[in-house]
Structure formats: C-alpha cells, structure tokens
Amino acid sequence: METLIGKKAPEFKAKAVINGSEIVDFSLDQFVGEKEVVFFFYPLDFTFVCPTELLAFQDKMAEFEERNVAVVGCSVDSEFSHWAWLRTEQKDGGIKGVKYPLVADLSKTIAENFGVLAGEYQYDEAGQIRFEGAPVAYRGLFLIDKQGVVRHSVINDLPLGRSVDEALRMVDALQYFEANGEVCPANWKKGDKAMTASFEGVAEYLGDR
C-alpha cells in the first residue's frame, strides 16, 4: 500500500453526524488553514472494541480542543446507524455523549482512498464481482496538518484498539516541531528536550542521556 505521509489527505464529501444528533454534509476541507485533524476509522457501529475507542476519544476531547485539534471518526455505516448509536445509552452498548463528527462511508470509498479498507472487490471465474476480506475499515488513524497534509498514520488490525494518549503525543510532537523547528526523538513527550536536525544536535542529545 502506498503511504499517504507527506501527501494531501484524500478529499471527500459525505454525510456525518455532529454533536450527537445533527446530520450534515461534511468535508475535512473546513479545517484547512484552521486546525490540525485527527481523522480515524473504526470497523462498525454497535460492536465491541469500537465503542471503547470512540468514548476514549470523547474523554480526551478537552485536551484536543486545548491544542486546537479537530477529532473526526469514520466507518462504513450509514449516517442513520451513527445517529442511532449516538442516541443509545452507554450501558446498552451505545456511545451517547460523543460530540465530535462521525462520517458515514457507506460506499467504502473514503476507506479505500485512505488505504484502510480491510478487503477488496475481485472478479471470480464466472465474471461476477465479489468482496474478498472484511467489508469494513481497519483501525486507521491519520494526523493531518493545517495545510491538509498527512503527517502521521497508524493502522491497526480489527482486534487491536488504539491509544488515544499516543494520538495526543503525536499532536504535541507535530505542533512542537512546527513551532520550534526541532525534531522529536523516540518516546518524546511534551516538556521533554528535543533535538536540532543536525549531527551536532544528535550528539548533544545523546550526551545528555
């Protein structure tokens, strides 16, 4: 799969549910020049690992907002499925209380364009089209900068939930680099010392370890 790192994020226009109840026409274009975006895919509404992830992102929304970062989720469900799930109490398997946008990718084209569709269409010997694999999205996450360029991505297999704290760490690293021009070494976190992008900077960093 060709990486999207360093490239413009694929454009789309789709239905989304925002604020837990309102269905709107939606595009990531609205954030260009204004905010970084954490755009993440999950397999399906009304499942098991997925609500833990979506609720974990909601629990950290204040921290994303402090950093002026938009969080947007997406799955191959319809906007009506999103709406119903968002209206279902958490004790009943729902995600009531999630306010950030959930994009509907019923055609699977957004997942395909971002390279996270867990399968593909093939022709069989009779010339009939069939889908091989799972017709859902892997757990892909993309950090998109204010210019609409993908700067970080991670894709997990369906059983493997993500770390929201790691998404925040990558936001901090990107924002620190853009503000200071220094690069962030392994396990860097906000408040740690960074490095200048030169051999001298590497030597200085290693000397302080």
184 noted as active-site residue:
no
Nearest-angstrom CA–CA distance, 110 and 106: 9
Closest CA to 104 of 183, 202, 23: 23
What CATH number is given to the structural domain containing 104?
Answer: 3.40.30.10
Residues 135 and 32 in one domain: yes
Residue 188 token pair: 């860097």
Task: Name the average pLDDT for the chain.
Answer: 94
The conformation of residue 78, written as its DSSP 8-state character, comes to -
Output the pLDDT for position 111.
98
Residues 146 and 180 in one domain: no
**151-196: pLDDT as tens digits:** 999 999 999 999 999 999 999 999 999 999 999 999 999 999 999 9
- Judge whether 49 and 159 are in contact, CB under 8 Å: yes
Number of domains in the chain: 2
Q: 4, 16, 50, 95: which is the annotated catalytic residue?
A: 50
**84-139: pLDDT as tens digits:** 999 999 999 999 999 999 999 999 999 999 999 999 889 988 999 998 999 999 99
